[in-house]
């Protein structure tokens, strides 16, 4: 089992460029998440998908879009990158939705710099 995989690991963009961060999990989890982590800010939820075919906004969705392509894959798109989106992005998945364990499994992260 690879767990949660993310690509790319590192990326440098210029302001205004677009890109898609890819995430896949092989644990047959229903729920998937995208977070960003900035120094001193902790993990902030961008978007999540409680199950295949549904997506919902998190705490900081502006400037991002997501696609739950199938049960395994959940992508995050930056349409027009801004320096404020420089961050480390983590994808996570969990095996349950609703009130239950909801242990989250994280990918290794994507380090994004926007110049």
Partner 1 sequence: SQKIEQNSEALNIQEGKTATLTCNYTNYSPAYLQWYRQDPGRGPVFLLLIRENEKEKRKERLKVTFDTTLKQSLFHITASQPADSATYLCALGGSASKIIFGSGTRLSIRP
Residues lying near partner 1 in the complex (CB under 8 A) are found at 4, 31, 33, 35, 40-45, 48, 50, 56, 58-59, 90, 92, 94, 96-99, 101-109
Max intra-chain CA distance, the chain:
41
Smaller CB separation from partner 1, 14 or 99: 99
Smallest separation (angstroms) from partner 1 to the CB of 49: 9
User: Do the beta carbons of residue 16 and residue 103 sit within 8 Å?
Assistant: no
Which class for 107: exposed (0-12), middle (13-18), buried (19 or more C-beta within 10 A)? buried
Indicate the residue among 14 and 98 with the shorter CB distance to partner 1.
98
> Of 19 and 50, which CB lies nearer to partner 1 in the complex structure?
50
Phi, psi of 37 (to 5 degrees): -130, 120
- Terminal CA-to-CA distance of the chain, rounded, Å? 36
Q: Which is nearer to partner 1, 14 or 62 (CB)?
A: 62
Measured from the CB of residue 78, what is the shortest distance to partner 1 in angstroms?
Answer: 20
């Amino acid at each position: 089992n690879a767990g949660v995989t993310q690509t790319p690991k590192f990326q440098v963009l210029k302001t205004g460029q677009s890109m898609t961060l890819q995430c896949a999990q092989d644990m047959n989890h229903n729920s998937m998440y995208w977070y960003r982590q900035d120094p001193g800010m902790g993990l902030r939820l961008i978007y999540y998908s409680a199950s295949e075919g549904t997506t919902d906004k998190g705490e900081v969705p502006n400037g991002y879009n997501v696609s739950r392509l199938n049960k395994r894959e959940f992508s995050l798109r930056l349409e027009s990158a801004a320096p404020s989106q420089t961050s480390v992005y983590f994808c996570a998945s969990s095996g349950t939705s609703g009130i239950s364990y909801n242990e989250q499994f994280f990918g290794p992260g994507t380090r994004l710099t926007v110049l």
